């Protein structure tokens, strides 16, 4: 079954690449519109998340942001099928000198990534220095190999989550690498306040930055109207260091989320709103059942 899925994937990709890039992005926008209408659960989550984050916006404004977010995410996912070519001509790195200055300190660099815009395009930074990242292994081993091989061509070391990941990552960190991890979605870690609501955030990038005394920078991406994208890097965050490691992880994770919240507020339609960041879906269903 996995091999059949991979063959279908390869055929689809081959046909897609025969089309002009502009048409591919039009198809992606259409898929985003369809996804918004058809996948009810994710639509409800996106709208509920937006209402929580922007209580002063009207329903019309919120729906407009949600729809545009779907279209941008669809373009982001689809463009990974011709990622090599896209990165060469369509991605502009802004403020990358901030990463290079941090790297010159000789301690490595920790980059917190955000699920925004053409999010993986941030990895264009690997053209300038080797980047290490961690991702889940795909269920289909053939597609997993395709993704891994494609990333390694870009000077990216992609570590797959497993029992060996901690050891492999530790070896890379000892080499003073540039580590890039998505850090904005819900995961086990620290309790934080995000857009005024308590939630949980992963602590991996903060934990690593503190443990290895690495500069911590945020990297995020904006998809432009012409389907190019721009990747931005913030100044190094001024981390709290009190000597209590556990306390510092908690404080700096909140600091990181405060900065991420500010970035998302400036570009609300660029973020992936259909992720159940605050576990609102169960509340939505409960409220709907209560009205019956």
Candidate from 88-97, 128-137, 258-267 with smallest mean pLDDT? 128-137
Angle between helices 2-17 and 141-153 (to 10 degrees): 40
Q: 175 in the Ramachandran plot: left (φ > 0), alpha (ψ -120 to 50) or beta?
A: alpha
Task: Give residue-wise pLDDT tens across range 11-25.
Answer: 999 999 999 999 999
3-state secondary structure of 232: strand
Residue 225 lies in a domain: yes
| pLDDT for the residue numbered 291 | 65
Residue 64 lies in a domain: no
Looking at every residue in the chain, the average pLDDT score rounds to 92
| pLDDT for the residue numbered 292 | 58
State how many domains the chain has: 1
Residue 38 lies in a domain: no
Residue 50 lies in a domain: no
Residue 16 lies in a domain: no
Report how far residue 9's alpha carbon sits from residue 154's, in angstroms, rounded to the nearest whole number. 21
Render 44-58 in DSSP notation, one character per residue.
HHHHHHHHHH-TTS-
What percent of the chain shows pLDDT beyond 90?
A: 72
Residue 145 lies in a domain: yes
Please give the average per-residue pLDDT across 243-258, as a whole number.
Answer: 97
The set of residues, in sequence order, having a beta carbon less than 8 Å from that of 21 and lying 6+ positions away, is 82, 227
Candidate from 25-29, 126-130, 174-178, 242-246 with smallest mean pLDDT? 126-130
Burial (CB count <10 Å: 0-12, 13-18, 19+), residue 124 = buried
Instruction: Give the domain range for residue 150.
Output: 83-291
Candidate from 88-92, 148-152, 213-217, 283-287 with smallest mean pLDDT? 148-152
Model pTM greater than 0.95? no
pLDDT at 259 over 90: yes
Residue 2 lies in a domain: no
Residue 29 lies in a domain: no
């Amino acid at each position: 079954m996995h091999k059949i899925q991979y063959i279908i994937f390869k055929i689809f990709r081959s046909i897609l690449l025969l089309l002009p890039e502009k048409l591919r992005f039009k198809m992606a926008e259409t898929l985003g519109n369809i996804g918004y209408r058809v996948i009810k659960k994710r639509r409800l989550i996106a709208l509920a998340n937006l209402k929580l984050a922007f209580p002063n916006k009207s329903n019309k404004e919120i729906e407009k942001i949600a729809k545009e977010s779907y279209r941008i995410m669809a373009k982001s996912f689809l463009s990974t099928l011709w990622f090599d070519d896209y990165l060469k001509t369509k991605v502009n790195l802004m403020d990358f000198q901030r990463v290079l200055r941090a790297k010159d300190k000789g301690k490595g660099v920790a980059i917190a990534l955000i699920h925004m815009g053409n999010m993986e395009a941030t990895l264009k930074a690997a053209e300038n220095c080797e980047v290490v990242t961690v991702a889940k292994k795909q269920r289909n081993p053939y597609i997993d190999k395709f993704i891994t091989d494609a990333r390694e061509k870009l000077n990216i070391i992609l570590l797959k989550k497993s029992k060996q990941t901690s050891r492999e990552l530790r070896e890379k960190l000892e080499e003073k690498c540039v580590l890039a991890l998505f850090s904005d979605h819900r995961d086990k870690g620290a309790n934080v306040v995000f857009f005024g609501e308590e939630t949980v955030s992963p602590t991996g990038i903060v934990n690593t930055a503190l443990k290895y005394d690495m500069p911590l920078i945020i990297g995020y991406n904006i998809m432009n109207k012409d389907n190019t994208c721009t990747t931005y890097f913030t100044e190094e965050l001024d981390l709290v260091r009190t000597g209590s490691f556990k306390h510092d992880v908690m404080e700096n994770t909140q600091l990181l989320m405060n900065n991420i919240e500010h970035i998302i507020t400036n570009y609300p339609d660029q973020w992936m709103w259909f992720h159940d960041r605050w576990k609102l879906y169960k509340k939505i269903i409960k409220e709907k059942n209560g009205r019956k």
